[in-house]
Amino acid sequence: MSEVNDPIIQLIEEYLSGEMEDVRREELTAWLDKKEENRLFFERLIQDGTWEQRWRQWEKIDTEAAIRRFDRCTRLDHGKRAYKRWVAAVAVAALLLLAVGFSLRQLMNRTEVAPVLVENILPGSDKAILILANGEKMKLENSDSLQVDLGAGNQLVNKDNQLVYQGEETGELQYNELQIPRGGEYQVKLADGTIVRLNSGSSLRYPVAFGKEKREVVLKGEAYFQVAKGKAPFYVQIGGLTVRVYGTVFNINSHYCDRIQTALVEGKVSILLGGKEFMMNPSQLADFDVSSGTLDIRDADLTPCLAWTKGLFIFNNQTLGQIMSTLSLWYDMEVFFQNPVLEQLHFTGCVRRYEAIDNILKALSESVGVKINKQGKTLTVSY
């Protein structure tokens, strides 16, 4: 077994930082020559490259500046400038929040041989089920390419993980439905040019070609819309709520228990409720409580709502219950809490959406102070 202790940890940290005096280098060489296991451990660490890269990233972080930039980002609420500037701040915050949690010192304090994961839970991918007007179901995944003649001059093309509809309405509307399973996401370009990106556990019902009077779709779950301009008004029906769109970019999410949230990035939308129309401006969030029927529209930091479209999860003081609900959809897993109190613990952080679950679970368990046991695709959270 290799001999790894605090002085050796300091030596290797100095080596990775590139600031090592000759005397210290001789000490490291002596340790490497003392045992073959020491050299093998060191070589495995260096050859892997991950920890050296993480160390160098961590070394470059100006923590105070990062926190100031992140704070400024969360206060900005004035249109597209706030939305475009948040990406840089989030990138720094991600390093700050996660790199520290996986420092070299923690790696050295482990036993020499890391445990082999029998099965990791992988992130979601591009996959969907398309239901045609005649009831036929088509599974879409792994960049499948296809072309379907829908009749009346309409056709459907699937390429590069995006459905594209082409054609114009000529008679009775024909509806398709795109269903996204847990652990999936997909994008569709509707006949009018509107682009809709659907998140895990969501579905969208829409006409193959829109009529002249109105453009209307039915959403369940979560989707990011980029609505094309057109003469006919555009409506999104979701959970008994109607959103009228005036050519715009926005995100709608009904995955929250008894809540529907609409985050407006640019343009204008309105919420139609109880015979009234409530207008929204960019950088506002509309929060509809399904059980009480109340609607709250307010200025808000939209970065957590939109992070999934940028390949991130941003949790801003969210409960562990909410976080696990979000992760369970994307990673297609089941989560159980041994004590309901654990669901109310809070976490703030940023993690990459397209990485395996283990690093995320480690960040959560170390930050919140819980144990997360993984058996297959089932997680159990305990003290």
Could you report the per-residue pLDDT of 138-189, keeping only the tens digit for each?
998 866 678 887 776 778 888 888 899 887 766 678 899 999 999 999 999 9
| Confidence label for 286 from pLDDT (cuts 50, 70 and 90) | very high
Q: Is 263 helix (H, G, I), strand (E, B) or coil?
A: strand
pLDDT score, position 83: 42
CA distance 118 to 158: 35
CATH architecture type of domain 123-304: Sandwich (2.60)
The answer to whether the pTM exceeds 0.75 is no
Q: Encode pLDDT of 82-101 as tens digits.
A: 444 444 444 444 444 444 33
Least confident stretch, 214-218, 234-238, 308-312, 373-377: 373-377
Structure tokens at 185: 């996401």
pLDDT score, position 161: 83
Residue 77 has pLDDT above 90, yes or no: no
Q: Does domain 310-380 have CATH number 3.55.50.30?
A: yes
CA distance 380 to 371: 8
- Domain ranges across the chain: 5-69, 123-304, 310-380
**Average pLDDT value over all residues in the chain:** 79
Q: Are strands 234-238 and 215-220 parallel, antiparallel or unpaired?
A: parallel
Beta bridge partners of 206: 176
Half-sphere exposure of 77 (CA within 13 A, CB side): 12
- Average pLDDT over every residue of 188-203: 96
CA-closest candidate to residue 325, choices 217, 163, 208, 199? 199
